[in-house]
């Protein structure tokens, strides 16, 4: 029983270690899956349930059920298998978070660690991105001086992270940190002795709470602000069109949430767009936003990529072509006229289209169901609480998801891509808040001490 309890407590650290190994190796050892299964059995042994149920369960089961079928039709298994690993680990993170955060204090500490993770992602992007790719503005005096500590990423063209991939990841992060930095957040310095805890992340957080200097504990907002500035700076350096557009939409949403008068920016933007179209600059603007980040990057090449994706969905509507194989299948069966035969076109450059290409229309239905469930859960949770901190968290999660989907209009995260784990983390946090703020299912949550005003 003691071993089983420790396995449950260590679930998130163990899962994190497995994910880090997956990021640097593209592999998940069979022993790792066995360990994760053992953790689930340990939870069943100690709590008499494998996991808490959520409204996300049905679409997740559909998506997981479709992965073996998608893998079976893939003629490039070595390309598909890492994406399958990524989806499985993302789902595992979702249930690990849902089962771990059982009280308001748990949520407070989880938000603290989420901010730390967001800062780490931004820093990793700063020191591990391939800045030498084509850019909107040439600023070699900046890029040449940036340190490069991360190299040898599997299947990377230049050994590091792709600019657009980093930009798409930061679309999740920037609105979330902006919302938290603008909320009325403070850490209650009088509550220094949390009650007995069951999870390792909460125990480590409690130790940090007792050990950290007073100035750090009471100025949590400034930690969030520093993480936000790091994220926005890294995003600007990526010069990712989709990332910048998505983040701008997310930040505008945060601004309107805090002050309704910022809604006038929408009117001004619409008028400005109408003026550009009327004066003949509309096509140039569309071409600038939609052009491919490649040597043959034009609006026509982007349209060609979408067309090839639609053709794949028409030919393989039930199974898809095999997750993560767009580039290989396109060059093999749907050759481009504009892109060169050796040019890497990694995906269909649209989130929804890419999901349908990879896992077919049933997989797309599951993906849309997950997004719909996210919106419903976030909306209901927001209406159910009057806590300004929790509302700020919900707004940050919701607008981060919106920003990423705006990015996904012209670019894409393949299901199972490594930074795509943030999608599942956002799903999980929203579901935790939904369960805490509504009466729809789940065990009652504790009313305990701790840094209650952290979110």
Q: What is the DSSP string of 325-372?
A: -HHHHHHHHS--SSS-TT----S-SSHHHHHHHHHHHHHHHHHHHHHH
Do 33 and 90 reside in the same domain of the chain? no
Q: d(Cα 288, Cα 293) in Å, to the nearest integer? A: 10
Same domain, 442 and 346: yes
pLDDT tens profile 305-318: 999 999 999 999 99
> Above pLDDT 90, what percent of the chain?
56
How many domains does the structure of the chain reveal? Answer: 2
Q: Would you tell me how many other CB atoms lie within 10 Å of the CB of residue 232?
A: 18
23/152 same-domain check: no
Token pair, residue 162, equals 């792709």
Nearest to 309 by CA among 293, 283, 333: 333
pLDDT, tens digit, 9 for 90 and up, residues 50-68: 999 999 999 999 999 999 9
For residue range 211-260, what is the model confidence (pLDDT) as tens digits? Answer: 444 444 446 778 899 999 999 999 999 988 899 999 999 999 999 998 88
Residue 2 shares a structural domain with residue 116: no
Query: 417: Cβ–Cβ under 8 A, 6 or more apart, which residues?
Result: 83, 86, 165
- Dist. CA 100–CA 196, nearest whole Å: 14
**Least confident residue range of 251-255, 381-385, 386-390, 443-447:** 443-447
CB 131, CB 234: distance < 8 Å: no
pLDDT attached to residue 80: 94
**Mean pLDDT value across residues 259-277:** 81
Q: Are residues 20 and 154 in the same domain?
A: no
Segment 254-282 shows an average pLDDT of 82
Distance of alpha carbon 1 from alpha carbon 352, whole angstroms:
45
* Section 250-272 average pLDDT: 87
Counting beta carbons within 10 angstroms of the beta carbon of residue 10, is it exposed (0 to 12), middle (13 to 18) or buried (19 or more)?
middle
Q: CA 236, 242, 23 angle in degrees (round to 5)?
A: 80
Mean pLDDT value across residues 14-20: 95
Instruction: Tell whether 59 and 34 lie within a shared domain.
Output: no
Residue 271 has a pLDDT of 87
Please state, in angstroms and rounded to a whole number, the distance separating the CA atoms of residues 418 and 20: 10
**Residue 338: helix, strand or coil by DSSP?**
coil
- Neighbouring residues of 312: CB distance < 8 A, sequence distance ≥ 6: 320, 321, 326, 329, 330, 334, 348, 357
Residues 45 and 134 in one domain: no
288 vs 76: CA distance, rounded Å = 33
- Note whether 12 and 126 are same-domain residues: no
Tokens of 225: 């602000």
- The yes-or-no verdict on residue 286 having pLDDT over 90 is no
Containing structural domain, residue 201: 51-454
Q: Which residue has tokens 């990015």? A: 407
Q: How far is CA 163 from the centre of its chain?
A: 16
Contact in structure between 364 and 352 (CB atoms under 8 Å) = yes
Q: What is the pLDDT of residues 122-180, one digit of tens each?
A: 999 999 888 865 666 777 778 878 888 887 777 776 678 888 899 999 999 999 999 99
E strand or H helix that includes residue 156: none
Residues 2 and 129 in one domain: no
If asked whether residues 399 and 250 sit together in one domain, one would say yes
Confidence (pLDDT) at 266: 81
pLDDT at residue 48 tops 80: yes
> Looking at the structure, do residues 211 and 349 belong to the same domain, yes or no?
yes
**pLDDT class for 194, splitting at 50, 70, 90?**
very low
Residues 138 and 5 in one domain: no
Separation CA 246–CA 404 (nearest Å): 6
Using pLDDT thresholds of 50, 70 and 90, give the confidence band for residue 444. Answer: very low
Higher pLDDT, 273 or 89: 89
């Amino acid at each position: 029983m003691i071993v089983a309890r420790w396995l449950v407590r260590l679930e998130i650290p163990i899962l994190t270690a497995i994910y880090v190994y997956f990021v640097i190796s593209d592999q998940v050892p069979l022993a790792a899956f066995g360990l994760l299964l053992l953790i689930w059995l340990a939870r069943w042994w100690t709590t008499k349930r494998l996991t808490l149920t959520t409204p996300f369960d049905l679409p997740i089961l559909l998506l997981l059920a479709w992965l073996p079928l998608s893998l079976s039709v893939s003629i490039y298994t070595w390309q598909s298998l890492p994406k399958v690993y990524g989806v499985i680990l993302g789902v595992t993170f979702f249930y690990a978070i849902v089962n771990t955060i059982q009280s308001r204090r748990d949520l407070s500490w989880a938000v603290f660690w989420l901010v730390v993770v967001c800062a780490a992602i931004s820093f990793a992007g700063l020191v591990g991105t391939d800045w030498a790719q084509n850019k909107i503005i040439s600023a070699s005096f900046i890029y040449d001086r940036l340190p490069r500590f991360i190299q040898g990423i599997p299947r990377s063209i230049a050994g590091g992270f792709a600019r657009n991939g980093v930009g798409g990841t930061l679309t999740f992060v920037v609105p979330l940190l902006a919302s938290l930095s603008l909320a009325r957040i403070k850490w209650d310095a009088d509550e220094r002795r949390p009650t007995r805890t069951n999870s390792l992340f909460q125990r480590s957080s409690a130790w940090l709470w007792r050990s950290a200097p007073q100035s750090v504990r009471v100025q949590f907002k400034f930690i969030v602000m520093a993480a936000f500035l790091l994220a926005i700076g890294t995003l600007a350096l990526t010069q990712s069109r989709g990332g910048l557009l998505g983040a701008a939409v997310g930040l505008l949403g945060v601004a309107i949430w805090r002050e309704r008068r910022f809604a006038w920016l929408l009117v001004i933007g619409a008028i400005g767009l109408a003026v550009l179209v009327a004066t003949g600059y509309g096509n140039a603007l569309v071409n600038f936003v939609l052009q491919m980040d490649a040597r043959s990057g034009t609006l026509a090449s982007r349209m060609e990529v979408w067309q090839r994706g639609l053709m794949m969905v028409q030919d393989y509507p039930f199974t898809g072509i095999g997750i993560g194989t767009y580039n290989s299948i396109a060059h093999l069966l749907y050759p481009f006229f504009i892109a060169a035969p050796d040019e890497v076109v990694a995906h269909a450059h649209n989130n929804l289209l890419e999901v349908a290409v990879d896992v077919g229309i049933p997989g797309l239905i599951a993906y849309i169901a997950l997004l719909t469930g996210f919106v419903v859960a976030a909306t209901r949770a927001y209406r159910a609480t009057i806590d300004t901190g929790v509302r700020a968290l919900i707004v940050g999660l919701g607008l981060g998801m919106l920003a990423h989907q705006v990015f996904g209009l012209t670019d894409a995260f393949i299901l199972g891509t490594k930074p795509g784990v943030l999608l599942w983390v956002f799903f999980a946090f929203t579901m935790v808040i939904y369960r805490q703020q509504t009466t729809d299912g789940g065990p009652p949550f504790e009313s305990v001490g701790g840094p209650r005003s952290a979110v």
